[in-house]
Structure 1
């Protein structure tokens, strides 16, 4: 992820932490919860404050939470300390630190991340994610439709474009679900989301 985007999140981190934590993870993930495994290993890319990781993690499902913003990682360790969540400072498109661990995962979760990836980097991201997912593993991506903050640049994309690209990178589309934003500021701006679920083949 570009430094300017990371810095934009860091600059507004105090307000964003409150905003992130105001969202109910069970409600947010309700459209894709059937595809989140109950055991094994899951990687949460762009984990923010750890809100979703804390909701998902259990003694049988370990979560690797990937977050490049220091302020979010610091808040996460205070708000959602858990022996079932491991934190790492890394980001797409390469996830170089994650890949160096030589671990594989049963699912990958990208919530409100995909819009920050440059169009020319999206295929590289998908290939990286495929390389760390087990065959049959699930990739869950929320695709944004609508304006973003000028401090945190968003690159336009569509669910169809994402699905087609994923198909060339070792994934089959399992499900697609449109949903309204749960954040009030995004609601006012007309932001909507499409949740895509892919299977690694």
Structure 2
């Protein structure tokens, strides 16, 4: 992941955790419940405040989660102490290694911070970590009006903006079958930002 992007999350973890906890994510969380069978073994990539890990555990899923920001992991553990043994610091794409496989994997608002090369590597690793017929759900920026021509916003964060067709193509090249695609408004009510939620299957 881009160094400036990671620094932003490291330096602002406490503020960002508050934002994430207040975001309206009912649509995405309902889709998580719809996508994965109860009691499934799941991995969350880019857990932020731990909001969605806790939600899934409370709904009878077995979840562990990772985030590239050490400070974000620490802040998440502070506000959700019950998650202390379930949150781990891992940086994409190189640290995405586990000894076991998962029934499902999901990633909310994370993968669009990767370069196209790192995105392809990460999606390939996700594919290999899934059990046969396992599903992967991701939510990524589809459109933003707050970034420059090189993909950076005024906070120094990098965003990879791809069309729906490009996201589909990359997933299919890895080997995934597309199950569902959905466009979403921004959960923090920011105008000029549109999201894509996609479910794919191994």
Residue 117 (str. 1) matches residue 114 (str. 2)? yes
Distance 1:45 1:19 in 2: 18
The answer to whether the 8 A contact 1:61-1:84 is kept is no
- Normalising by structure 1, report the TM-score: 0.88
Q: CA deviation at 1:163?
A: 1.1
Q: Does 1:69 align with 2:74?
A: no
* 1:32-51 map, 5 Å: 32-51=32-51
Shift of 1:115: 1.2
Shift of 1:58: 4.6
Stretch moving more, 8-17 or 82-91: 82-91
TM-score (norm 2): 0.87
Q: Which moved more, 1:61-70 or 1:171-180?
A: 61-70
CA shift at 1:162, angstroms?
Answer: 1.3
Say if 1:57 and 1:84, in contact at 8 Å, map to a contact too: no
Aligned ranges for residues 98-113 of structure 1 at < 5 Å?
99=97, 101-113=98-110
Q: Cα gap change, 1:114/1:170 in structure 2, threshold over 3 Å: closer, same or farther?
A: same
Please provide the CA RMSD for this pair.
2.0
Structure 2 counterpart of 1:180: 185
Unmatched 5+ stretches in structure 1:
none
- For structure 2, the 5+ residue unaligned runs are 148-152
Per-residue CA deviations over 1:78-114 (Å, capped at 9, x if unaligned) read 2223369611110222334xx1x31111111111012
How far residue 13 of structure 1 moved from its aligned partner, in angstroms, is 2.1
Alignment: residue pair count: 194
- Residue 163 of structure 1 is matched in structure 2 by 168
Partner in structure 2 of residue 141 of structure 1: 138
Verify the 8 A CA contact 1:127 1:169 in the aligned structure 2: yes
Aligned to 2:150: none
